[in-house]
């Protein structure tokens, strides 16, 4: 049951990454067409544009969503690769826990950073 | 005798190993006279009859039906009985036991891992009306399209060539392998079967189709033209749809009465009475 659900989430995370990375690429490289995301004008990574996007709650949510999807997708994929090395069952369990802790830790840290960034940008 | 480009003599290079007696496998060469139409199996018999009677392999039907004589022929898994030496085009033919299995002796692999995985996935029709199945009174109706969905997977002869070619089987002893998974899909797709939930208990876990990398080697080597790689991908789709609550359960085939008022065409005999 567990692997069926994990695999389904893996696919779902892949689809989310595809959409959000597509959005990222579009904002970064199609700025001439999508000027709406670069209100300050100039280059998309100019500080003023970064702040403007940081002020947006929707953008902050997409950052957190992308972080979660990328962490799950990447770490689950890494787990599959490691499991194909045929570790002993206790080592499998330990590996799973290490990856869960790494993933949750990075997600909490990234979410905190994104949220603080949003608040700081909102004060600007 | 016309052998095309083949010489009069073929050298069989065979991997020999007797666990308990030998420390490690050794390669031995056996030159034999080539005859037109000779298969790998014929060559092995010739070696056994004329050079080394201790050579061991497994074979039965000699016509690509029983699936007993799977072996690595020039590095590719295939059946000894339906592989012509002429089609290989080499004067030295390398024969080894199927990879990814323990060796019983010489070219005889121990196929228990395959049959254990196969058995665990209930490869037979599962449905509630057991009385009708044990004492059939009618036939389950199935359209040609419904049969087409699983037909090719039912051609599997469990020769294990796909398991020997599978890169995941080579590294992951937990993975069920293409035989068991394709057969689970074959029954999950059969409209007479109602055992999806039972098989899902096993398939949804670690032994299921999740580790398949879709290398496609299983389909490439299958001597019966079955496409296990396709079955595994379709099974993944089915299980993901199930996890998302999107799987459409097809209507279960029901027993139907023999149609009345239909004249049998002349010359077509009645079906024989059931023997079981």
Domain-by-domain residue ranges, chain A?
A: 2-123
Measured at the CA of A77, the angle between CA A76 and CA A80, to 5 degrees, comes to 90
pLDDT confidence of B92, banded at 50, 70, 90?
Answer: very high
Q: Which of A4, A80, A86 sits opposite B208 (nearest CB)?
A: A4
User: Could you tell me if B125 and B233 lie in one domain?
Assistant: yes
Q: How far is A8 from chain B (nearest CA, A)?
A: 5
User: Could you tell me if B117 and B72 lie in one domain?
Assistant: no
Both tokens of residue B171?
């590294």
pLDDT reported for residue B265: 87
Mean pLDDT by 10 residues, chain A (124 residues): 90 97 89 76 85 90 96 96 90 96 98 93 82
How many domains would you assign to chain B?
Answer: 2
User: Could you tell me if B27 and B94 lie in one domain?
Assistant: yes
Q: Which domain holds residue B170?
A: 112-243
Quick check: is B248 in a domain? no
Q: Which residues are paired to B78 by β-bridges?
A: B71
- Tens of pLDDT, residues B150-198: 999 999 999 999 999 999 999 888 999 999 999 999 999 999 999 999 9
| Cβ–Cβ gap A7/B200 under 8 Å | no
User: Could you tell me if B89 and B122 lie in one domain?
Assistant: no
Quick check: is B276 in a domain? no
Looking at residue B55, which CATH number applies to its domain? 3.10.20.30
Q: Which residue's structure tokens are 């997600």?
A: A107
- The average pLDDT across B69-73 equals 98
- The residue out of B109, B130, B159 marking a domain boundary is B109
Quick check: is B182 in a domain? yes
Q: How far is A76 from chain B (nearest CA, A)?
A: 12
Looking at residue B215, which CATH number applies to its domain? 1.10.1060.10
Quick check: is B249 in a domain? no
Q: What number of C-beta contacts closer than 8 Å exist between A and B? A: 47
User: Could you tell me if B119 and B96 lie in one domain?
Assistant: no
DSSP, collapsed to helix, strand or coil, labels residue B238 as: helix
- The average pLDDT across B126-134 equals 91
User: Could you tell me if B77 and B141 lie in one domain?
Assistant: no
pLDDT reported for residue B5: 63
Q: Are A53 and A34 in contact (CB under 8 A)?
A: no
User: Could you tell me if B17 and B99 lie in one domain?
Assistant: yes
- The residue out of B89, B109, B129 marking a domain boundary is B109
The torsion defined by the Cα of B272, B148, B121 and B82, in degrees rounded to 10, comes to 80
| CA–CA gap between residue A46 and residue B234 (Å, rounded) | 47
B80, burial (CB in 10 Å: exposed 0-12, middle 13-18, buried 19+): buried
User: Could you tell me if B116 and B42 lie in one domain?
Assistant: no
- The residue out of B44, B76, B109 marking a domain boundary is B109
Q: How far is A77 from chain B (nearest CA, A)?
A: 10
pLDDT confidence of B15, banded at 50, 70, 90?
Answer: very high
Q: Which helix (H) or strand (E) holds B6?
A: none
| CA–CA gap between residue B86 and residue B5 (Å, rounded) | 8
| CA–CA gap between residue A110 and residue A114 (Å, rounded) | 6
Q: Which of A2, A3, A8 sits opposite B244 (nearest CB)?
A: A8
* Fold exhibited by the domain A2-123: 3 helical TM bundles of succinate and fumarate reductases (1.20.1300)
- The average pLDDT across B29-47 equals 96
Report whether pLDDT(B6) > 70.
Answer: no
Q: Which residue has the higher pLDDT, B130 or B233?
A: B233
**Residue A104: Cβ within 10 Å count:** 12
| CA–CA gap between residue B84 and residue B103 (Å, rounded) | 25
User: Could you tell me if B126 and B211 lie in one domain?
Assistant: yes
DSSP, collapsed to helix, strand or coil, labels residue B70 as: strand
| Cβ–Cβ gap B211/A7 under 8 Å | no
Substitution target in A4, A79, A87 with the highest count of B β-carbons within 10 Å is A4
């Amino acid at each position: 049951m567990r692997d069926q659900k994990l695999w389904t989430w893996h696919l779902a995370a892949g689809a989310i990454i595809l959409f959000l990375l597509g959005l990222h690429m579009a904002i970064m490289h199609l700025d001439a067409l999508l000027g709406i995301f670069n209100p300050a004008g100039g280059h998309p990574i100019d500080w003023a544009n970064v702040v403007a996007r940081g002020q947006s709650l929707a953008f902050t949510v997409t950052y957190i969503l992308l972080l979660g999807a990328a962490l799950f997708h990447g770490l689950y994929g890494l787990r599959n690769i490691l499991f194909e090395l045929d570790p002993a069952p206790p080592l499998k369990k330990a590996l799973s826990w290490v990856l869960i802790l790494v993933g949750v830790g990075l997600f909490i840290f990234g979410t905190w950073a994104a949220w603080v960034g949003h608040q700081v940008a909102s004060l600007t | 005798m016309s052998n095309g480009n083949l010489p009069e003599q073929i050298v069989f290079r065979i991997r020999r190993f007797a666990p308990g007696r030998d420390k490690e496998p050794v390669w031995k060469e056996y030159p034999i006279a080539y005859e037109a139409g000779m298969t790998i199996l014929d060559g092995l018999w010739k070696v056994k009859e004329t050079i080394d009677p201790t050579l061991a392999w497994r074979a039965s039907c000699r016509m690509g039906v029983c699936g007993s004589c799977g072996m690595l022929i020039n590095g590719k898994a295939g059946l000894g009985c339906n592989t012509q030496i002429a089609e290989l085009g080499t004067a030295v033919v390398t024969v080894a036991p199927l990879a990814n299995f323990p060796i019983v002796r010489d070219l005889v692999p121990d196929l228990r891992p395959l049959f254990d995985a196969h058995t665990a996935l209930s490869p037979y029709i599962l449905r509630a009306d057991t009385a009708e199945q044990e004492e059939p009174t009618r036939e389950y109706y199935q359209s040609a399209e419904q049969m087409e969905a699983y037909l090719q997977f039912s051609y599997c002869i469990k020769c294990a060539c796909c398991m020997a070619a599978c890169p995941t089987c080579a590294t992951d002893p937990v993975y069920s392998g293409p035989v068991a998974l394709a057969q689970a899909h074959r029954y999950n797709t059969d409209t007479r079967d109602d055992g999806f939930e039972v098989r899902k208990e096993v398939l949804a876990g670690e032994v299921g189709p999740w580790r398949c990398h879709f290398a496609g080697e299983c389909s490439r080597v299958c001597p019966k033209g079955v496409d296990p790689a396709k079955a595994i991908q379709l099974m993944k789709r089915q299980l993901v749809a199930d996890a998302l609550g999107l799987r459409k359960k097809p209507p279960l085939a029901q027993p139907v009465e023999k149609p009345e008022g239909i004249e049998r065409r002349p010359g077509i005999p009645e079906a024989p009475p059931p023997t079981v």
